Every structure is written in C-alpha cells, then in structure tokens.
A = this chain, B = another copy of it.
Amino acid sequence: MSEDRRLAVLRAIVQDYVETSEPVGSKALLERHSLGVSAATVRNDMAVLEEEGLIAAPHTSAGRIPTDAGYRLFVDRLSTVKPLSGPERKAISTLLDGAVDLDDVVDRTVRLLASLTRQVAVVQYPSLTRSSVRHIELVPLGASRLLVVLITTTGRVEQRILETGMDLADPESERMLASLRSDVNGATVGKTLADAAGGLGELPTQVDPAARGLLAAIAAELTEVLVEQREERVVMAGTSNLVRSGEDFPSSIGPVLEALEEHVVLLKLLGTVTEQGSAVAVRIGAENPYAGLQTTSLVTSGYGAGSDLVAGLGVVGPTRMDYPTTMAAVRAVATYVSRILAE
C-alpha cells in the first residue's frame, strides 16, 4: 500500500511550492527530497493525487501545485507547528512588555504579527460583550450635552455624546447627575456587558422621577453600545506585504485590499474564531465565505485575559503560505498578548 508515500509526495510538493512559488515537477521533487523511489513512481502518485483533487496542474506540461484541499490535508495531517526561535520569542515579549496602554498593546501586537509573518496582520480590539463593566462616567459638556463614558475590565473606553435637551449647568442638575452616576454604576459595575444592559432596564423604577427622562436617554445610549457592540474595531498592518507576494494572486490584490478594508468582514471572520477557543484556526482559500478573500488563507486565534477569550487576531496571506511557521507565530503572539492582558 503506497498511501503513506503518496502523502509524503504531497507534503514535499507543498513544501517546495511554498518555497519556490513554482509548480513542482516529478524530477525537481526527487532532487530536493530523498523519497527512495524513481521519478516515474512519483508521477504515478501525482496522477492519483490529482484524481483525488489534492493537486492540480496549471497547464499540460507544467508541474503540479496544491489545491485548497491539498493545503487543507497538509495542515491537518502532514505538518507540525514549527516552534519559534529563541530570539523571536524574546523579541515578542520585550516588544509587548513596553506597551503603555490598551491602544498601544493592540498597535504593537498587529505590527509585530505583520513583521513576524511578513503578511497582513489583523487584530480585533477586545470585544465589549465578553468583558464586563468597570466604571461608567457622566460628564456634562457645555449647556445641554452629556458625555457618557464606559470603561471595561479590559481597559477599553467607549464614549458617546448625548443631547439631553435639559439645562445641565445649574447646581441642581449637578446633584442629580451625581446621584444618577452612582445609580448607574451600582446597577452595572462588575456585570458582563450583556447583563449590564439588563440591569439598566430595571433602574428607572427606583429613581427620582425628575431624573427619569435623563436616565432613560442614558440607558438607551449605553444599551446601544453594550448590545449592538457596533463599535468593535480591528486594526491592520502589513498591507505592503501583500504586494510583495502579489504574484500569488490570480487576478490582482485589489479585491483583497477592498475586502480587508471592510472591517465588518474582518470582524465576522475573527468573531467566529473566538468561539473556537484559543486554538489556532486555519481557513484556506475557497473555504472562506467572502468573495474577495477566496484566494487567501487566514490563520487566526482567539486571545484574551485569563480563561475567557475576548477577541481574535490573525494573519491574511496567499493560500501559498508557510503554514507551520505562520501558525507558530500566530499562536505565540496570541499567547503573549493574552498574558499581558491578564495582568
């Protein structure tokens, strides 16, 4: 039974193709790997692999390249995640340790991931819904407007400006605000964001009638932030790496860039990731639900403080990608940044 050797051939094809970016033929394969068989045998194996849909020939007299299914098999069964080198690990930790706040952590993470993998890196801000409320602050702005600030356990700060239609400048209102502030905080602090929205709903019954209108407005604004979570943000770096590997994209990198600019798309992609735990997930080529990204592969992982994951990060690159190395980098960065956030 030659099943094993056929897989070895597939592995060799993937490795060579990733390295050279050229279709690999039976002969070239023999020179670079000691398979212990002749070229003709390899050719037979290749024919079978092609029949199984794992490799394909771009044209008649060319070598073979892996298909999406071929990469999938390679990732699932033929590769081992290559550990990072010592210096690399060190670089990761020292770079991330230098961050001063959450923004800075995210910023450094995304740049790090991009330079480490030499691909496009994407990092989602720690998601609101999975963290909980640390503090809510109400700040009057000018005569009638109110700034509502929400601070989460992940150190994230959300803000909204609210037109109250009331005069907030007089001392009376100030006292009212102070009382509202403590009420709102009492009803939400420590709860997850989803629960906090519920807590807000129950508040109006317990409150000075004069303040009810204002409270309702505040609650509405906060609920929007809490529930709709529309403010989820992603940051991106390394887009210039796309053009370097530009030949890997059949048509052009244009559609890819467009898809990447649609942050909503990225959020969807990273969102599904966090549900799968902290394992590194790989989505290859057409497995990807978004048209613009069907020529790319995504390597992603969840990350976050402690045991509850709060967001996703990952890299986007051509399907012809060094999966073992990339997966190692993504995993390592996710681990380190989680550690930082756990503090």
* Interface residue? A102 (CB, 8 A): yes
* Interface residue? A139 (CB, 8 A): yes
On whether the beta carbons of B134 and A139 are closer than 8 Å, the reply is yes
Q: Given A137-B137, A147-B155, does the pair A243, B238 have CB atoms closer than 8 Å?
A: no
On whether the beta carbons of A161 and B155 are closer than 8 Å, the reply is yes
Q: For the complex, give the distance between the alpha carbons of A102 and B145 in Å.
A: 14
| Distance (whole angstroms) from the CB of A128 to the closest CB of chain B | 14
* Interface residue? A100 (CB, 8 A): yes
Q: For the complex, give the distance between the alpha carbons of A252 and B231 in Å.
A: 35
Q: For the complex, give the distance between the alpha carbons of A261 and B244 in Å.
A: 15
Most buried by B among A240, A253, A257, A261: A240
Bitwise, A65-105 to B at CB < 8 A (1) or not (0) is 00000000000000000000000000000000000111100
Q: For the complex, give the distance between the alpha carbons of A134 and B139 in Å.
A: 9
Q: What total of chain A residues lie within 8 Å of the partner, measured CB to CB?
A: 32
Q: For the complex, give the distance between the alpha carbons of A161 and B157 in Å.
A: 12
| Distance (whole angstroms) from the CB of A268 to the closest CB of chain B | 18
A261 contact set on B, CB distance < 8 A: 237-240
Q: For the complex, give the distance between the alpha carbons of A309 and B100 in Å.
A: 28
Which residues from 28 to 83 on chain A have a C-beta closer than 8 Å to any C-beta of chain B?
none
* Interface residue? A116 (CB, 8 A): no
Q: Nearest residue in B to A235 (C-beta to C-beta)?
A: B235
* Interface residue? A258 (CB, 8 A): yes
Within the complex, which residue of B101, B135, B137, B139 is in contact with A160, where a contact is CB–CB below 8 Å? B101
Q: For the complex, give the distance between the alpha carbons of A32 and B82 in Å.
A: 62
On whether the beta carbons of B240 and A257 are closer than 8 Å, the reply is yes
A244 contact set on B, CB distance < 8 A: 254
Within the complex, which residue of B101, B141, B159, B257 is in contact with A243, where a contact is CB–CB below 8 Å? B257
Q: For the complex, give the distance between the alpha carbons of A134 and B161 in Å.
A: 13
Most buried by B among A101, A102, A231, A253: A101
On whether the beta carbons of A103 and B239 are closer than 8 Å, the reply is no
A252 contact set on B, CB distance < 8 A: 243
A135 contact set on B, CB distance < 8 A: 139, 147
* Interface residue? A280 (CB, 8 A): no
* Interface residue? A149 (CB, 8 A): yes
Bitwise, A134-167 to B at CB < 8 A (1) or not (0) is 1101010100000101010001010111000000
Q: For the complex, give the distance between the alpha carbons of A134 and B140 in Å.
A: 9
Q: Nearest residue in B to A254 (C-beta to C-beta)?
A: B243
Q: For the complex, give the distance between the alpha carbons of A188 and B240 in Å.
A: 42
Q: Given A137-B149, A147-B151, A151-B139, does the pair A159, B102 have CB atoms closer than 8 Å?
A: yes
On whether the beta carbons of B161 and A101 are closer than 8 Å, the reply is yes
Which chain A residues have a beta carbon within 8 Å of chain B's beta carbons? 100-103, 134-135, 137, 139, 141, 147, 149, 151, 155, 157, 159-161, 231, 237-240, 242-244, 252-255, 257-258, 261
